[in-house]
Amino acid sequence: ANLVSMNPPAVTTIPPETSNRAFLEQFAQPGRVGLCGGDTLIDRGIARAERHATPDGAWSRWTHAFVFGERRSDGHLWIIESDMQVLRGHVQFGVQENRTTKYHDEKLYSSLAVLDFQLPPESVNRVVAEGLELVSGRTRYSLREILGILIALRHPRLRPRGNLLDRDNAFFCSALVRHLFAKVNCDLTPGLDVKHTAPEDLFRSPVPHQAWTLERTMPHSHLRTLAARVKQRVRTRLRRS
């Protein structure tokens, strides 16, 4: 069966000169889903792997997913996500809360999307509450499950089945989003196992939703430029020999 959704969402494209901050301030709301993408080596690897989840085989624009949580007394809207990051020597590895300001850097996050599945207020509260429960429980980020979904993306028949490298009390980013919405009986990607859900699958969810996207064409990363130079040098030496 073809597990690639052929029904794109209703998408509103925001002018690329818009800042990430302005975009998020306008469209981010509690209970909505956020997606992002960048040009780092890791982003490019994930985007390439997700080509198996796009109808035309193109690389995905989306490499990370999260849920917008509550606006706190500090005036900031917070997000709930499963991620890996090191800040001032402190390692965060799992389900965590961060301010939306984390995604204000256009150099790191050249593409952003906000998805609105129009959850009623009581469902929004439950999604956020469940997310906070996982934060409190120190739910882990699973690199092992990432490997499992990479295998399944190359072999679509595996995607409805359980992740071969499933771990208890662990979620990667888009699996967390899928899990939270399932708590309010909203299955964002029917036909896929929760832990075989990629960010691209969320964007193409068959559940009716509105999407706003902000995308820029960024210069190639330094790593990509370096790799191209090394490849050219190797070719030159081979020709000489």
pLDDT tens-digit readout, 181-221 = 999 999 999 999 999 999 999 999 999 999 999 999 754 44
pLDDT above 70 covers a percentage of the chain that reads 85
pLDDT tens by residue, 96-122: 999 999 999 999 999 999 999 999 999
Q: Is the pLDDT of residue 134 over 80?
A: yes
What is the pLDDT at residue 85? 79
Q: Is the pLDDT of residue 45 over 80?
A: yes
Q: Is the pLDDT of residue 146 over 80?
A: yes
Strand pairing class (10-14; 77-87):
unpaired
Q: Is the pLDDT of residue 231 over 80?
A: no
Q: Is the pLDDT of residue 228 over 90?
A: no
Alpha carbon distance 24, 109 (integer Å): 12
pTM of the model: 0.86
pLDDT tens by residue, 14-42: 999 999 999 999 999 999 999 999 999 99
80 with 66: CB under 8 angstroms? Answer: yes
Across the range 228-240, mean pLDDT stands at 58
- Of residues 72 and 221, which shows the higher confidence score? 72
Tell me the Cα Rg of the chain: 18
- Of residues 4 and 151, which shows the higher confidence score? 151
What is the pLDDT at residue 192? 97
Torsion of CA 210, 139, 131, 109, to 10 degrees: -40
Across the range 168-184, mean pLDDT stands at 97
User: To the nearest whole number, what is the mean pLDDT of the chain?
Assistant: 89
Residues 6+ away with beta carbon under 8 Å from 235: none
Q: For the chain, how many residues are written?
A: 241
Q: Is the pLDDT of residue 229 over 60?
A: no
